[in-house]
Amino acid sequence: MVSVSEDDSCMEFLFYQSEAVTDLVISNNLCNDYTASMIDFTHYTNLESLEIGDSNFQHVSEFVIDGFDELKSLKIGINSFTRSINSYGDDTSRSFSVLNCDKLESIEIGLSSFGDYAGLFELKNLPKLSTIKIGEIGSYSYNFYDSSFVIKGIIDVILLMNRSSSFEFYRIR
């Protein structure tokens, strides 16, 4: 397990290479000075769990997880990947994709993360995905406020939405 705290450099863990790392935990308020358009976790080839805390990666425009063969859970805290804290925007150049992860079972995204991501929201080829939680039912949230949603290769689902753009998704068993 690798845990990134306030004392660690954002660049250090992004370029850290280890096949032994299965769990990556990133604390709160990190990497907000990181200006690359896309974050890259591909160096963590055996990652089973990725947890990103609150208020991280304000300036990252593309969130892409693709082909992580061992990844089982993805969790992102509140107000991460957004320049508009507790608000929304309509930046169509900002996009979210989780693709081709054969073992991924759950995605959880906290209130108002990705609030100004108005580009593509894509979930594709995730055969084990059984739970998606975005925002919090009953709370007003701005997650993916102006995005277009594309969900492919996921069948038999229940989608619970409310007016605040929060939703929960469960596979019917």
HEC states along the chain?
CEEECCCCCHHHHHCCCCCCCCEEEECCCCCCCCCCCECCCCCCCCCCEEEECCCCCCCCCEEEEECCCCCCEEEECCCCCCCCCCCCCCECCCEEEEECCCCCCEEEECCCCCCCECCEEEEECCCCCCEEEECCCCCCCCCCCCCEEEEECCCCEEEEECCCCCEEEEECC
Quick one: pLDDT at residue 7? 52
Is this prediction's pTM over 0.95? no
Note the pLDDT tens digit of each residue in 24-35. 999 999 888 877
| Domain residue limits at 165 | 1-173
Is residue 39 pLDDT above 70, yes or no? Answer: yes
Domain count, the chain: 1
Note the pLDDT tens digit of each residue in 50-64. 999 999 999 999 999
